[in-house]
Amino acid sequence: MTIKAAVIGVGSMGRNHARVYWELPDVELVGVADTNQNTSETIANRYNTKVYADYRKMLDEQKPEAVAICVPTSLHLEIALDVIQRGIHVLVEKPISSSVEEGKLMIAAAEKARVKLMVGHIERFNPAVIALKEQLAKNKLGKVFNVGAHREGPLPQRINDVGVVIDLAVHDLDIIRYVTQKEIVRLYAETQCGIHSKYEDLMSALLRLSDGTIGSLVINWITPTKIRNFFVTGECGMFKVDYLTQDLYFHENSLVDESEWATLGLLRGVREGSMIRYHVNKKEPLRAEQEAFLKSFTNDTEVPVTGEDGLRALELAQALVTSGHEHRLISLNHSDS
Ligand SMILES: NC(=O)c1ccc[n+]([C@@H]2O[C@H](COP(=O)([O-])OP(=O)(O)OC[C@H]3O[C@@H](n4cnc5c(N)ncnc54)[C@H](O)[C@@H]3O)[C@@H](O)[C@H]2O)c1
């Protein structure tokens, strides 16, 4: 059976959702809506679909079963409510909304209307992250001590309704929760506004997880080259994910051999061991994300990234912004699920 799908907002991210719907078998891209006529016409022509300036008209005429919302974050709630109230399943881009209060309203509306609500935390569908999670589940690392991410790069000119923490740190906050299955219970951030006067464009942060694991985040859009790395360090070594190339590396610890000269025992510690680059079957994360979303309502199963997951990532990002503004440590009352 063919699923009718549509996209609202076909700018930088939305045009990729439109392409994926167009590429997927058993999906018909029934329309795209964007207030920018040039943008929407280009995309509609490319994927041979209907074009709308008013998304409500598209929803009422085309009656899609699934909609991807890819407008600026400050518009997510208003548009999601219009979609949800029509009984249509929603994939809303990350971050879920521009405030926690808005996110809660969206989740409540989706529950009431009994529609699926998924948040586009795309890194969960990065094959290197999936491979990392598999290795951690096999206890390849032993006890985990430290997690962290570097997400740095140039300023995307189009984002002007949120700062770098709400826009980008949500990715890694979600991945920390996802791979460790632990909640962040304490955090402290230093932030700086340089390019934007209103929003931060640079953050360094320290985190503590419920099991004592320490986390760190270096997130900015002031770096002239794109870096997207995630690390997990534990008893047996360190995993490194390159989100961009979808590579997973393991740097193994080589401990001093017990049988060696006894005095060496005093110097016992971590030494560099072998390094493995795992074979990872590469796949477009957005396609995997959309497939999982569509499957959730055709099979009536839980979406892999729930509204609550999106809300938690946003809550943590907002706490980091507050910490940066007020120069204070913030404790959170989140228990592990
Ligand atoms: N998952 C990811 O990795 C990722 C990457 C980039 C952006 N995003 C998210 O996607 C969303 C959009 O970001 P972007 O970079 O594509 O922005 P963008 O500015 O490139 O595109 C937004 C589009 O929405 C359109 N729009 C604005 N108001 C509208 C309305 N009322 N009705 C219909 N269309 C409207 C604009 O004309 C524009 O074409 C943001 O929430 C952002 O955080 C996610």
Cα–Cα dist 304/178, whole Å: 11
Distance 17 CA to ligand 1 centre (A): 11
What does the pLDDT read at residue 91?
Answer: 98
Contact 69 CB / ligand 1 (< 6 Å): no
H helices, E strands: number in the chain: 10, 15
Give residues with Cβ within 8 angstroms of 126, minimum separation 6: 241, 243, 246, 285
pTM for the whole thing? 0.94
Contact 120 CB / ligand 1 (< 6 Å): yes
Determine which residue's CA is closest to atom 30 belonging to ligand 1: 35
What does the pLDDT read at residue 292?
Answer: 98
Contact 118 CB / ligand 1 (< 6 Å): no
List Cα–Cα distances, 182 to 24, 106, 190, 314, 335, in angstroms: 34, 25, 23, 16, 8
Determine which residue's CA is closest to atom 7 belonging to ligand 1: 13
End-to-end CA distance of the chain: 36
Determine which residue's CA is closest to atom 3 belonging to ligand 1: 122
What does the pLDDT read at residue 219?
Answer: 98
What does the pLDDT read at residue 155?
Answer: 86
Contact 93 CB / ligand 1 (< 6 Å): yes
Q: Which atom of ligand 1 is nearest to the CA of 33?
A: 33
Which residues of the chain form beta strands (DSSP E)?
3-8, 27-33, 51-52, 66-69, 89-93, 117-120, 144-152, 184-192, 202-209, 214-220, 227-234, 237-242, 247-253, 272-277, 330-331
Contact 121 CB / ligand 1 (< 6 Å): no
Contact 8 CB / ligand 1 (< 6 Å): yes
Contact 189 CB / ligand 1 (< 6 Å): no
What does the pLDDT read at residue 162?
Answer: 84
Pairing of strands 247-253, 237-242: antiparallel
Per-residue model confidence as pLDDT tens digits over 7-54 = 999 999 999 999 999 999 999 999 999 999 999 999 999 999 999 999
Nearest in space to 177 (alpha carbons), one of 80, 327, 314: 314
Cα–Cα dist 296/304, whole Å: 8
What does the pLDDT read at residue 259?
Answer: 58
Domains defined for the chain, CATH in brackets: 3-121+286-305 (3.40.50.720), 124-283+314-331 (3.30.360.10)
Contact 273 CB / ligand 1 (< 6 Å): no
Distance 68 CA to ligand 1 centre (A): 11
Contact 328 CB / ligand 1 (< 6 Å): no
Per-residue model confidence as pLDDT tens digits over 247-281 = 999 999 986 555 555 555 555 567 788 899 999 99
Residues of the chain with pLDDT under 70: 158-159, 196-197, 255-269
